[in-house]
Amino acid sequence: MERTNPPNLMANAGVFYVGMLRELALDAKAPEGTRKDWETLRAWLGNQDNELSAMDTDQIGKAWRAYLAIGLAPSHDLQPVFDSVRGRFNTAEAKRDRPPVEIMRVFERLLASDNQIKAKRASDAEAEGEKLAKIIGRRPSTNKKGLWSRQSRSVRGWIFVSVAWAAVALFILTVFDPLDVRHWDWADGRDYLKAMTIMLLPAVAGVLKAAYSTATK
């Protein structure tokens, strides 16, 4: 008989974990967080009667494997398992099946405690910050004569402030996660729009100022 290895067990465990969550949530003594997690999943499934149908289990299975395919474990102990599963499920289909962020957060809580999740997030944020620092450190110098030196002092100041603001904003968004995205693989269109709006504020302000000055000459 073929032995099922840990990656296979993890890849097919989503329906089991959700079933356990459902049973716990239906208990009158269930913690509020457990009930909220089940209600979040139930609303996402469109489930009206608290029973898991074949369609529900299929949707959960696909979403669970798509979550694993990201490769970002909720705890340090589970990271090796996520690493081994990721290569198998990181496909175009997995990207299409990826559930909303709030569902993946429920999946996280099915696998790890709040303290484990918090510690892993801090570690992941630090790693992202180190990667960003390396990228910024490799950027070639833009302090060259030519087109740059021909610009007026105010234009150069505006460009400098815009670039510096964008770099600082990117660092803060990546390391401190004020938008509560945790990892940009999880972000949706609205998250990217918010981030780009914050990063481009000085640039947009400068363009509007220039347009106003031109219009009122």
The predicted-structure confidence for 97-136, as pLDDT tens digits, reads as follows: 889 999 999 999 999 999 999 998 888 888 777 776 776 6
Amino acid identity for residue 216 in this structure: T
Residue 62 confidence (pLDDT) = 92
DSSP label of 145:
S
The predicted-structure confidence for 141-174, as pLDDT tens digits, reads as follows: 545 555 666 667 777 777 778 888 778 877 777 7
Write the CA distances from 196 to 89, 156, 173, integer angstroms.
30, 22, 10
Closest CA to 68 of 54, 88, 41, 51: 88
Global pTM value: 0.63
Confidence bin at 9 (pLDDT 50/70/90):
confident
